[in-house]
Amino acid sequence: TVSVLYWPTMVKVNMISRSKVEWTKDRAGEVPRAHRNYEAGPPPMAKQTEYARAIRAAKMDRMFAKPFVAALSGHLDTVQTIACDSTNLSSLVTGGADGQLVQWDLMARRPRRVFPAHRHSVDGAVFTPDGTAVLTASRDRTVKLWDTDFGEDGSPEPVPIAEYLGSSPFADVDHHWHENMFATAGHELEIWDVNRTKPVQSFTWGDETLTAVRFNKVETHLCAAAMLDRGVCIYDTRMKTGHSKLIMSMTCNSLAWSPMDPNMFVAGCDDWNCYLFDIRIPARPRSVFQGAVKPINSVDFSPTGRKFVAGSADQTVRIWSIDQVQKSNSEEMYHTKRMARVQSVRWALDNNYIFSGSEDSVVRIWKADASAPIRPFRGAEKSQFNYMRSLRDRYKQHPEVKRIVNQRNTPTAIKTSTRQLKSAMQREMVSEMARRKTTELKPLAKKKTVQSLK
């Protein structure tokens, strides 16, 4: 037997030699030698380093994504409407199906005042632009004007400043942004003057009841209303007739104007979708936002006009961006185990929080940016946070970063419903392709989503 020994290959090592004279200071006060790269240019591994940082930023973003802030209990029944004060960020008013009106102290996270406002459910509430009063509308055919300081004198039952009696039950109310007038949604759209007990204008377009009404925040004379006949009507209060009407595929439950672009508004419908419209091109929606698996009950724009929030009957609060490329799913989806169907949502005017009211009689507070800290930044934290966020947005289309950014913990019921919906759409597509291949018939005419009437 012969044994052979194999010696490993020797590695060549180059030694670095430096002159002691060049790198030693002659005196203690001598300025140290500066190292300069006279060939200025990007580092050779800049892209790889940025990509690694982007992956880390995406992981940190999902790790710290804790959007839930607080749950406010004070109602005895479903929270039907939410109103934010434009002059005081810590003031919030909610109306319930039990007829109670609750004014909240958001700093203390407790109700400031609770009292019965109507005999039936409070379906609409809005602050006046100066923040000194609140308008509430109910199915008992009354609209009441309340002082925001009601109950300060210790009176057990606050008395409204004014009361307006209508001819039909009211489903919603909204105040003009510059004048002392408000609009109500009932059997017809009525424009009221605060100082008068009868409406000064009335608009009708068909015989169906209105479910929602909103004044435009920029062109304040424009008013949009949703109807039970699947219509969305645009009115100009300076005219005696309507401006235009859109016929949707299903009933529109809520709508909201963009605070930055007076031509755009978003509508939430019973077909589980949100539609973004431009009134200059009313015949077709600008974008259709999908993702919900049950009807949309309430929508509201962010103060920047770049995003909007929607509350759905699938017990979730969803956030979409009007510029997002993929419209088939929302950017964010907030949910809890105990939250019931969401009936109303509002975006706080400081753009940091979202309020939602649901059928479990609880008002919940969410962060608009799930991973942003509530406390103020200290020192260089803000620049570091913005740098990591910019890296995440720059590389969000790369596979690894995209997988991390889009990861969400979806409830089992919603995941199952989404899977069934996709399967049904796929079966319908396969059936249509087979029908076209085996027959000489023309393709089936697809039902139009929107029809414009003028």
Looking at the chain, how many residues does it have? 454
**φ, ψ (nearest 5 deg) of residue 75:** -90, 160
Q: Which pTM value belongs to this model? A: 0.83
Residue type, 175: H
Query: Which residues are CB-contacts of 203 (< 8 A; sequence separation ≥ 6)?
Result: 188, 189, 190, 191, 225, 233, 235, 241, 242
How far is Cα 169 from Cα 185, in angstroms, rounded to an integer?
9
CB 190 within 8 A of CB 202: yes
CB 224 within 8 A of CB 232: yes
CB 74 within 8 A of CB 360: no
Which sign, positive or negative, has the C-alpha torsion 158, 160, 166, 172?
negative
**φ, ψ (nearest 5 deg) of residue 427:** -65, -40
Residue type, 327: K
pLDDT in tens, the chain (454 residues): 555 555 556 667 877 777 776 677 777 777 777 777 777 777 778 888 999 999 999 999 999 999 999 999 989 999 999 999 999 898 999 999 999 999 999 999 999 988 888 999 999 999 999 989 999 999 999 999 999 886 555 556 788 889 999 888 999 999 999 999 999 999 989 999 999 989 998 988 877 789 999 999 998 899 999 999 888 999 998 888 888 888 888 899 999 999 999 999 999 999 889 999 998 888 788 999 988 889 999 999 999 999 999 999 999 999 999 988 777 788 899 999 889 999 999 999 999 999 999 999 999 999 999 999 988 888 889 999 999 999 999 998 899 999 999 888 888 888 888 888 888 888 888 888 887 777 666 665 555 556 666 5
* Buried-state track 266-284, b at ≥16 Cβ within 10 A, e below 16: bbbbbbbbbbbbebeebee
